[in-house]
């Protein structure tokens, strides 16, 4: 018997970042939108915990106990007094170290899959609690749709979305480490007064209306200057997408994936084609959102 769970990637349409807290984390106003690029996590009983991965970026995925999917299995098993003897296989389509919550998706997917496989019947509350323990973005990977994350991003309020948004994503030639981008944010902000992060009302209204022009006018990412400082070539990708007719262009989360909002699916295809031939990125994908959160495909 095995269980497969499909989990979406995310783009942050707003990422407002406060000053570093005493624990090193940053308070956020983080507006997540799940998009239709998915990892699939399959769990099967085995003699001991083992992780394997397939997909174009599979060689960059750690297969030891630092993998969030392995950690999810261990935490759930510990809480329920079970041996986490399971083979976790990840079919990876979300870029690795790309700012699209690929690792978080695998954590949420493995958690839901192991819960079904082992019959642990954890409540939604317990699942969300374990997700928050695994990482700041993991609760959103479970929930999907659109949500405002506060605290370090793990406290979620579901948001209404009144339409489908069409995106193009450009994958970069290398990854960026999230802690390194936050450190660069701290360095760039040294000596300045960093305001409390708050969600933008025009942005929430644009999501609720499903209005791509209004959303394009309202998106923001406070980590973008830090990502560009560590990876200056991303400016060329952003410029190429804007010139191709994207309504807006931004770094996704801590990057280095760049995200381009298009007015409709046809325009998304055009922007994607132009970006592909621009020579400014490694790969280009289109995906729309909101997409559903972690979902079991088979049991």
- Active-site positions read 10, 137
Least separation in angstroms between CB 247 and ligand C5P: 27
The residue range among 70-78, 135-143, 204-212, 243-251 that interacts with ligand C5P, by the rule CB under 6 A, is 135-143
**Distance in angstroms (rounded) separating the CA atoms of residues 128 and 273:** 39
- Give the Cβ contact number of residue 121 at 10 Å: 9
The residue range among 3-11, 21-29, 37-45, 225-233 that interacts with ligand C5P, by the rule CB under 6 A, is 21-29
Least separation in angstroms between CB 89 and ligand C5P: 23
- The sign of the dihedral angle between the CA atoms of 172, 175, 181, 187 is negative
Q: Is 254 marked as binding a ligand?
A: no
Do the beta carbons of residue 79 and residue 38 sit within 8 Å? no
- Could you say whether residue 152 binds ligand C5P (CB under 6 A)? yes
Name which of 119 and 179 has its Cβ closer to ligand C5P: 179
Residue 96: DSSP 8-state: T
Name which of 28 and 69 has its Cβ closer to ligand C5P: 28
Q: Is 110 marked as binding a ligand?
A: no
- Could you say whether residue 191 binds ligand C5P (CB under 6 A)? no
* Secondary structure E strands in the chain: 3-20, 26-45, 50-54, 86-91, 146-150, 155-158, 165-171, 220-221, 248-251, 258-262, 283-289, 295-298
- Give the Cβ contact number of residue 187 at 10 Å: 10
- Could you say whether residue 106 binds ligand C5P (CB under 6 A)? no
- Could you say whether residue 137 binds ligand C5P (CB under 6 A)? yes
Omega of the bond leading into 290 within 30 degrees of 0 (cis): yes
Least separation in angstroms between CB 183 and ligand C5P: 7
Q: Is 262 marked as binding a ligand?
A: no
- Could you say whether residue 175 binds ligand C5P (CB under 6 A)? no
- Could you identify the residue written with the tokens 């040294």? 190
3-state secondary structure of 190: coil
Q: Which of 169, 159, 151, 5 is nearest to 73 (CA)?
A: 5
- Could you say whether residue 98 binds ligand C5P (CB under 6 A)? no
Q: Is 179 marked as binding a ligand?
A: no
Q: Is 96 marked as binding a ligand?
A: yes
- Could you say whether residue 279 binds ligand C5P (CB under 6 A)? no
Tokens of 2: 């095995």
- Could you say whether residue 136 binds ligand C5P (CB under 6 A)? yes
- Could you say whether residue 182 binds ligand C5P (CB under 6 A)? yes
* Interface with ligand C5P (CB under 6 A): 25-26, 28, 135-137, 152-153, 178-179, 182
């Amino acid at each position: 018997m095995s269980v497969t769970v499909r989990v979406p990637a995310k783009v942050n349409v707003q990422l407002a970042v406060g000053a570093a807290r005493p624990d090193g984390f940053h308070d956020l106003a983080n507006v997540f939108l799940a998009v239709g690029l998915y990892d699939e996590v399959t769990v099967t009983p085995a003699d001991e915990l083992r992780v394997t991965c397939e997909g174009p970026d599979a060689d960059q995925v750690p297969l030891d106990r630092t993998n969030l999917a392995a950690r999810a299995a261990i935490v759930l098993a510990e809480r329920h007094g079970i041996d986490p003897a399971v083979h976790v296989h990840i079919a990876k389509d979300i870029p690795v170290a790309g700012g699209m919550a690929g690792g978080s998706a695998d954590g949420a997917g493995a958690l839901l899959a192991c819960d079904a496989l082992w019959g642990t019947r954890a409540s939604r509350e317990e699942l969300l609690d374990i997700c928050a323990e695994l990482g700041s973005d993991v609760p959103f990977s479970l929930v999907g749709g659109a949500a405002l994350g506060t605290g370090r991003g793990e406290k979620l309020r579901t948001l209404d979305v009144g339409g489908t948004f069409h995106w193009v994503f450009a994958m970069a030639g290398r990854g960026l480490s999230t802690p390194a981008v936050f450190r660069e944010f701290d360095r760039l902000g040294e000596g300045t007064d960093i305001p409390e992060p708050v969600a933008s009302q025009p942005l929430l209204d644009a999501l609720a209306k499903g209005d791509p022009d209004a959303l394009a006018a309202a998106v923001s990412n406070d980590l973008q200057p830090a990502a560009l400082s560590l990876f200056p070539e991303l400016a060329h990708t952003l410029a190429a997408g804007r010139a191709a007719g994207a309504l807006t262009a931004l770094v996704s989360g801590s990057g280095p994936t760049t995200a381009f909002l298009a007015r409709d699916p046809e325009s998304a295809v055009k922007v994607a084609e132009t970006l592909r031939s621009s020579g400014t990125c490694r790969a280009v994908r289109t995906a729309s959102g909101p997409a559903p959160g972690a979902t079991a495909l088979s049991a």
